[in-house]
Every structure is written in C-alpha cells, then in structure tokens.
Amino acid sequence: MASLIRNAGRLRPLKRPSPSTYLPTRSVTISARPAANVAAAVMPEASNVDQPFFPSEPQGPTIRTAIPGPESKKAIEHLDRAFDIRSLNMMANYQNSFGNYIADPDGNVLLDVYAQIASIPVGYSNPSLLAAATSPDMASAIINRPALGNFPQHDWASILETGILKVAPRGLDQVFTAMAGSDANETAYKAAFMWKRRMERGGPEVEFSTEEMDTAMNNQTPGSPHMSILSFRSAFHGRLFGSLSTTRSKPIHKLDIPAFDWPQASFPHLKYPLSENETENGQEEARCLAETEDLIRNFHSPVAAVVVEPIQSEGGDNHASPAFFRGLREITKRNNVLFIVDEVQTGVGATGKFWAHEHWNLAEPADMVTFSKKAQTAGYYFGNEDLRPNKPYRQFNTWMGDPARAILFRAIIEEIERLNLVENTARTGEYLYDGLERLAQQYPEHIQNLRGKGQGTFLAFDSPRRDEFLKKAKGEGVLIGGSGAAAVRLRPMLIFQKHHGEPLIMSPF
Amino acid sequence: MASLIRNAGRLRPLKRPSPSTYLPTRSVTISARPAANVAAAVMPEASNVDQPFFPSEPQGPTIRTAIPGPESKKAIEHLDRAFDIRSLNMMANYQNSFGNYIADPDGNVLLDVYAQIASIPVGYSNPSLLAAATSPDMASAIINRPALGNFPQHDWASILETGILKVAPRGLDQVFTAMAGSDANETAYKAAFMWKRRMERGGPEVEFSTEEMDTAMNNQTPGSPHMSILSFRSAFHGRLFGSLSTTRSKPIHKLDIPAFDWPQASFPHLKYPLSENETENGQEEARCLAETEDLIRNFHSPVAAVVVEPIQSEGGDNHASPAFFRGLREITKRNNVLFIVDEVQTGVGATGKFWAHEHWNLAEPADMVTFSKKAQTAGYYFGNEDLRPNKPYRQFNTWMGDPARAILFRAIIEEIERLNLVENTARTGEYLYDGLERLAQQYPEHIQNLRGKGQGTFLAFDSPRRDEFLKKAKGEGVLIGGSGAAAVRLRPMLIFQKHHGEPLIMSPF
C-alpha cells in the first residue's frame, strides 16, 4: 500500500507486472463430490492461526491485463444488453477464485479486501462450504423450497439450532428468517410497530376495533398509524421503502422515492486520534444522545424503535464509543421504545467479536438484532415473546427465508469455529491497524482519521484522493472498497491473515 | 372431492383409512450425483402428455395417522421454541416427497394441490432439478455468492439469456433481479417513481437540484416526492412497507403498520356464470375502469404507476376479463403512468400460458412484469431503456438476486419445455374445470362461483364451509389452499395431470 499511496495523484498508464512477480494463478475446479476430506487434507490445525489456513491459496495477485481485460470487456458488453452494468466494478470468474483471491475472465487474480461488499466470510471456493453445498440436505433444500411459515421441513428446528440460533446474540433466542438485509430490517420494524400499538391498545388480548380494520384497508389512521422508526444521519439500513426511509447515506440512494416522514438524529462525528480528543468526543456523543431522546419524546410521529449500526458502514465507517451505545440502550428503555441493532455489515466476526455489539457490554440485551451479508441468509433475532405478534399471519410471507442459505450459514459457522476465525480476525486486525497507523504517520496527506482500533479488520481511513487510490490498488492487484465521501474501507474475509495484510502495510514492495 | 363435499358439515372424528387403500409411500433418497440419466430413464416421451410424467410417483395419498401425527407434533413443539409456528399448516418431510405428493414425518403422503402457496412448479424431488442442483455451477453459485451489481460472474449474461430472459414477456428484454415477490414489486415501483420524476424534471440529462438532494436526505419533498402507486381493492402485492401499501387483501396483513397514502380503485366483482351475466359484468368493469382513470387524474398524490394481478390470488381469486386489462393498458398509456403486471402468483405456466397476461392480447406490452414463486427467484422485466435510472447506484443492493436460484429457474424452464408443461396445464385445467362444473351443478350449496375457465389449473370456487372443507380434504390426503374469505383455490403444480385430478372431480371414490 505504501507504493500505492506514494504514487497516488500521479496517474500513470496501467502497467503489466511481470508474471514472475507472482505465483501462477491456481485454477480451482469445483467438484460436485463432497470435499470434506479435501478440506482436512489442505488445512492446518486451527491452533496455529499464523500458518496459512489454505496453503494452496495463491501467494499473491497476478495481473495479466489491464482491468477490464479483453475477455472481461466482452462479458460486460454481453451483459449490458439486458442488465444494468453501470455499477460494475469488475467481472469475476468465481470458479477460478480461491480463498482471499478473486479471479477475472482474463486470468487476473486480485487480493480481495472488499469481499462482495463484506459478504464472503470464509473464502471463495471454500472446501468445507463446498462439502455442505453438495450434500443431500442442500440438494433437497434447493429443489424443494418450502413456504416455511406454512410447511416447514421436519429438520428446520435443527437447522436453526445448529446454525442461526447457535450464534444468537446474548438474550435473544428467537428468530424470524428473511431474505436480505433490507427485509430483515423491515420485518423488525414491523414487529416494533405491532408491539408498540399492542401496548397502546392495552395488551395482546385487546381486539382490533372495526375502525382500525376499516382504516387499515385504506392506509389511514388509526389502522395504519402515524408512527416512526428513528435512525441516524449517515445511516444505511436498506433500499426498500421502509428501510430506505431510515437510510440517510447519500442522496443518490433516496432521490425520487417517496419516504415516510420519520426522524433522524445526529450520529457522533468523532475526532481522531481518539486518545487526543476524549473530552470533545464525549461532549459530541452526549449531544447526539440528548438529541435522540428529544426526538423520541417530541417528534410529531411517535417513535416505536431506534435502529442503529454498530459502525455506520455505507455512510463512511463512522464509529461511536461503547458508552454511546449503552446510552442509546438506556434512553430507549426509559422511553419505552425498542432498540434495534443492524448488524447486517458488522456481524459474523469481522470486528473481532461474532457480533459487533458485544463490544458494548450492554447491561440489557438489544431488543432485536438484524443480520445478513456474511450470514448468506438474513433475518432478525429477538428474545422477548411480546415481539411475536398477537395473531398468526401478521408477520408472514411465502418463503420466509431460504433453508438452502440457512444450511450454508451453518457450514460457515462450523468453519469459523474450526479455524478460530473470530480470534484470527481480532489478531489480524490489530496487526493491520498498527501497520496502518505507522503509514498514517509517514503519509498524513493520504491516510487520515484512521479508525477501527480494537474492531478486528473492520478498519477505515479517509483519503482525499480516495477514488484514484482505489483504482490504482486494483491495477496492482488489490481490490479495496470505499464508502461515504472519502473513506477507504477494509472489509477482508475472516480468513484474511497477517501475510495477506503485509502488502497493505509494509513499505515498499 | 365429491365425497369430501358430501361429508362437509358433518364433522366426524378423523378416520384412519386402511393402508391397503393406497400404494405404499415411496421414499425418495436424494442423491448428490447428477441425475440426468435417472430423469431420462423414468420419464415418458413428452409427446404423449397423458402418460404419467413420473411413473414412480405414488399412485395416491397414504394416510397413516391423524395430521399432525406424533412425529409431526414433536417436530412442531421443537420448532415452536424459536420460530413462530401459528401459521403452520403441516410439517413436511421433503426428502420423502415426490412429484405431486408431499410427505410428513409420520409417513403420511398427501396429494399437494397447494404446492407451497403456488411455488413448486415441476414437482418435489424432481430428477432434472436434482441434476441442476448438484452441478458444479450450482455449487459455485451457492458458496461464491456475488454482489451482482458490482462483481457479476462471467456467465451471468448467459445464465440470464438461457433462463430468466428466455421466457421474458413479449416486448420486455431487460431484467432487474431480486429476491422475492415483495422486493420485485418494490424495485419496480422505485423504477416507476424515478421514471416519472425524470419526465417531470425534463429528461435524463437534467441534474438533481440542491434542494432535491437536501430534502431527500430528510425524507421531505421535493427530493422524496409525494407520489403514489395505484392498486386495486383486494389486491395482494407483498408485505414490506411499499408493497404492503398497495396490498388490500385483509386487515390482518396491514394492521398497525404505517402505510403510504396511496389510492385504491375498485376491482370488478364479476357475477357467475359469466355467460349469463355479460351485460352486468361489462358495466361493472366499465365502472372500475372509470374509477381508475378518475383516481389517476385527481388523486391528491400523483400516480406514477398502476399495479395489478392478472388474477387477484390472495384476495380470493378474483378474475376480470381481457377487455378490462386492455382498458387498463389504454388508460395508463393516455394518462402517462406506467402499467405494472404482478405475475408473482399467476406466472410460469399455471394459467395455461407462460404468463397469464398473454391471455389479454395487449396491443402494447405492459411496462413492467414482476415474477417470483414458481420461478424460485424474483425480479421484474422491462423493455423501455428509460426505465433504467439515469445514474448508477439508484437501483442497487448487495446481492441483487441469487445466481443459485437463477440457475434453478433455468432448469425449471428446461423441464417445462421438455414435458410441454404449459400445454399440459391448459389441458388438465380444462378437464378439471369441466368436472368441477358438473360437481357445482350437483352440489350448488358447496361449490359456488366457479372461476378460471380457460385459465389452466388456476381454478377456484367459493364454499360457505371453506375451512371445514379444507381440513377434511387434508384428513383424506388432499392438501388444498384457501384465499380471501371463502375461496377454495386450486394451485397444483404444472406436472398435475388428469389422473391426479380425478379424485377431485369424480364421484365417489
């Protein structure tokens, strides 16, 4: 990265490094046979986490052509006929991708520090996942997709218990399964609205009034109440109509789409380095908490829940202290609104804890925690029976998730445990943070506001020439993502190890 | 069904038929090996569609216990700890389900005329789908899930062309892939809002104003405009916040959830039999069309699109004539709003055409058609380049669908073609309709308003003792669904043949 940074600003033609710089690309052929034995053969003991998890992984990137190369260009042109390709970053060949390395159709192989927008947990073509993907249970889940609310499969409880629920956050022992982050959040919001109205109504036994039933059919109060979910400035919670109403990341995400008139509170703008700005940051967080409580008490549309990300991800990797989040838990509790933690991007190990909100040491659990991305399936956890609606069919849809993806998440959890990947991510993150901190001192004009200390590999910094930097990195074989206006965000997989991080923090290679 | 109907109203204890009444249950073991050769071996030539597609399918239901039996009860109790089971209809064992027959953990095997709420197209444990589900491409799609908007796989264009796009409705050659019916509809709505605002703004080149960008971040006009989607009374379009605002099926679906103040028009209430009520029905449809146009012109929140189901399914199987839908196409065109056809439940062959709206002979194609359910994946088709937003990242999310499910849909399409299943469904539907019509004459107190003539197997009738009837049918080995207040809806798979339908229409068996 040092060389990347030094060269940022001097746009030079994309060079083609000598193939001898890197090991040759390893082409991975996906076999349909169970690969458990392969997994056992190629993987070291989990106890020694500094040995490579996947010895047969490429030793580094291979750059054969400018990206996109001729084959990629052909594939992009082909796709453009029927599919919007304007957000395309890179055409991939996943059959040739392995571990932390993503391949393209031209034989280029890049170190992937973005991981499908933080969504690949244990590496491309992971042999243990391949075994799960080719199991009879998976085959049945793929071809016999159930309507889980009506006709669950006999082993659905067991799939949940040995998978999704095995990693349920403390205090939350129930789950509503969904398809992606957006609908996970929206179903959590729906649960919050039903809960709030039931309390206002006087309990689960109180029947809906005729007026409520009539007005609901016409989208009018009181059946369709004016109530709200409070979110924070710069937050991202999804793109559907309810979730988008709580998303406050960028105008381009929201323009022209009708939205609910729901409140937003300020999210702390912390100053870095944190150790030199403690007082000021404390005041900033107190200000934001006060604003939040004021909105809960006074906003014209009653607040049913507050939703927050442990680290605002799409909004630019904005952090707040554990004390801030404990404050939110207290405020929501004393004002009788729910506290929803959106762990769609932060969850499943990336921060060095399985759930990022474990860093907070909450006295009382969050009311709901939503998940997706690295879980490959989605939904929300809850622990309070009152969050089950008072009647069936209020929270319902045809599929209610996907057993195939739930089975995959179970395999991911097993792989995380087998290789101690949460611990690995904590350790690798420390190593990366220290290295980036040294670089930031050398290149303060390129690395600013380094953040994520103690948060695993969930690291970010601001770079005034961010887009140029990301482009250059890609040309040299390192795929990195941005977020917000100027943030470079590192979102490596949980199998990212020190030796993968070296090129990012060692000068010059 | 005759015996079911005769006995409806006389609630008797669930009897346990002698096992010799039915063939023994065939236990299907899912093999992880490609099964293409198996498929070839067990299936007859497509040319003779009256021969069984799957000779090894059970010859009829097997009822061994009351439903739920002891094993099912255990599984339900187990699941109840962490998952809401109050909408549960039946605990299933899909590994033991085959073709049109669904098995449960107690060895009961039922003829499934509901098919996971109309979502299983070509049978449980279908050998051709099993081959696709155990292919190397599927394994890679399962374990290497891409963020399709940023990093599509090199063969995504080909997967679309040989699958989703191969069956695209006439005039629509582009697709936005999604996860389920709700988000398919909501992304179509978003496309409609962007399109409408772009026209108001003066074209794709006109930039957003600072005021628009600022207000959008605060969910206020003009950035978050007051605009609407018009839907119809009794419509069902999904359960998320935007789609739920267009859903008008039942209060229980909507109560306590904030909704957009969007308009609803009357959907025709047709009188049956149609041949005896032509004049009145024509007037009713004209009234609904006039009301629709009046709302488009005068509703306080400008209408960007009209969304309609070809047959209102959840709302009780309400039909309208092709002339009504042609009228909607004309009205939307002349008032410059989009026409969205929601084929989530009607699509993929069930009405005897691949898309139900093919029955209408529209002079000009619909603007968008949404799909899900039997497609096992979801999204919306469109044909007008103007429906691509003017900038990237306006219509975007992490996954944007699921290649694994897109590969499965391709295999489903191939199976439909191989066995001529759309034609089969048209023929079987005619046979079923005729038989039900005869039964309706015999039992007018039980079968009323029979509807779906010429609409394949997408048949329904009203039954004053509907819930009792469905329960009794289940006890006798036939799983049927209801919709609306009193409708019995038949939603068999596309592999449902005359011999499967016999017990439903022959007296007495």
Residues of B in contact with A216 (CB under 8 A): 251, 254-256, 259
Q: What residues in A contact B254, CB-CB < 8 Å?
A: 216-217, 219, 223-224
A483-499 pLDDT, tens digit per residue, is 888 999 999 999 999 99
Count of other CB atoms within 10 angstroms of residue B48: 7
Determine contact: B380 vs chain A, CB below 8 A.
no
DSSP lists the bridge partners of residue B103 as B93, B109
Tell me if residue B398 is catalytic: yes
Which residue among A105, A182, A394 sits closest to B397, beta carbon to beta carbon?
A: A182
- Amino acid found at A159: I
Alpha-helical segments (H) within B162-235: 181-201, 210-216
At A66, which amino acid appears? A
Pairing of strands B478-479, B459-462: unpaired
Cα A200 versus chain centre, distance? 34
Distance of CA A238 to the CA centre of its chain: 11
Q: Which tokens sit at A504?
A: 């990012």
Which tokens in the block code for residue A286? 């107190």
The per-residue pLDDT string of chain B (509 residues; one tens digit each, 9 = 90 and over) reads 555 555 443 333 333 333 332 222 333 444 433 334 434 444 444 443 479 999 999 999 999 999 999 999 999 999 999 999 999 999 999 999 999 999 999 999 999 999 999 999 999 999 999 999 999 999 999 999 999 999 999 999 999 999 999 999 999 999 999 999 999 999 999 999 999 999 999 988 999 999 999 999 999 999 999 999 999 999 999 999 999 999 999 999 999 999 999 999 999 999 999 999 999 999 999 999 999 999 999 999 999 999 999 999 999 999 999 999 999 999 999 999 999 999 999 999 999 999 999 999 999 999 999 999 999 999 999 999 999 999 999 999 999 999 999 999 999 999 999 999 999 999 999 999 999 999 999 999 999 999 999 999 999 999 999 999 999 999 999 999 998 889 999 999 999 999 999 988 875 33
- Asked if the Cβ–Cβ distance from B404 to A408 is below 8 Å, we say no
| Chain A residues with beta carbon closer than 8 angstroms to that of B146 | 92, 94, 116
State whether residue B210 sits within 8 Å of chain A by CB. Answer: no
Q: Which residue has the tokens 């109309």?
A: B118
CB-CB neighbors (< 8 A) of A256 in chain B: 193-194, 196-198, 216, 223, 225, 394
**H or E, element range at B157:** helix B156-161
Determine how β-strand A101-103 pairs with β-strand A93-98.
Answer: antiparallel
In this structure, are strands A448-451 and A93-98 parallel, antiparallel, or unpaired? unpaired
Q: From chain A, pick out residues whose CB is under 8 angstroms from the CB of B126.
A: 143
B97 touches chain A (CB under 8 A): yes
Nearest 5°: phi and psi at B85?
-110, 10
CB A110 within 8 A of CB A472: no
Would the CA dihedral through B121, B122, B127, B132 be positive or negative? negative
Chain A residues within an 8 Å CB radius of B86 = 391-393
CA distance A328 to A306: 8
Q: How far apart are alpha carbons B138 and B440 in whole angstroms?
A: 47
* Alpha-carbon span B250 to A217, nearest angstrom: 7
**What 3 state SS string does B38-101 have?**
HHHHHCCCCCCCCCCCCCCCCCCCECCCCCCCHHHHHHHHHHHCCCCCCCCCCCEEEEEEEECE
The predicted structure's pLDDT at residue A11: 32
Q: What is the pLDDT of residue B110?
A: 98
A133 touches chain B (CB under 8 A): yes
- pLDDT score at B50: 74
Q: Is B196 annotated in the active site? A: no
Q: Which structure tokens are listed for B474?
A: 């289940």
User: How many A×B Cβ pairs under 8 Å?
Assistant: 420
Partner-chain contact B253 A125, CB within 8 Å? no
Catalytic residue among B353, B373, B374, B472: B373
Interface contact A190-B257, CB threshold 8 A: yes
Chain segment A110-137, per-residue pLDDT in tens: 999 999 999 999 999 999 999 999 999 9
Q: Is B217 on the interface with A (CB under 8 A)?
A: yes
Q: Write the pLDDT tens digit of every residue in A261-309.
A: 999 999 999 999 999 999 999 999 999 999 999 999 999 999 999 999 9
Strands of the sheet containing B478-479, edge to edge, are B93-98, B101-103, B109-112, B478-479
Candidate from B158, B258, B395 with C-beta closest to A84: B395
DSSP summary character for residue A121: S
Please answer yes or no on whether A71 and B398 come within 8 Å at the CB atom.
no
CA distance, residue B335 to nearest chain A CA (Å): 20
Q: Going from the N-terminus, what domains does chain A have, and what CATH number goes with each? A: 2-132+420-505 (3.90.1150.10), 147-203+238-416 (3.40.640.10)
Nearest CA in chain A to B153: A92
Question: How far does B198 lie from chain A, in Å, by closest CA?
Answer: 9
Q: What is the largest CA-CA distance in chain A?
A: 76
Inform me whether the pLDDT recorded for A26 exceeds 60: no
Pick from A235, A231, A232, A229: nearest CA to A312: A235
The number of residues in chain A equals 509
Residues in chain B with CB shorter than 8 Å from the CB of A121 are none
CA–CA min distance A294, chain B (Å): 17
Of A126, A152, A217, the CB nearest to B79: A152
Q: Where are the alpha helices (DSSP H) in B299-420?
A: 322-334, 403-418
Q: At what angle do helices A403-418 and A136-143 cross, to 10 degrees?
A: 150
Q: What is the crossing angle of helices A498-505 and A421-442, to 10°? A: 10
Q: Tell me, yes or no, if B342 is annotated catalytic.
A: yes
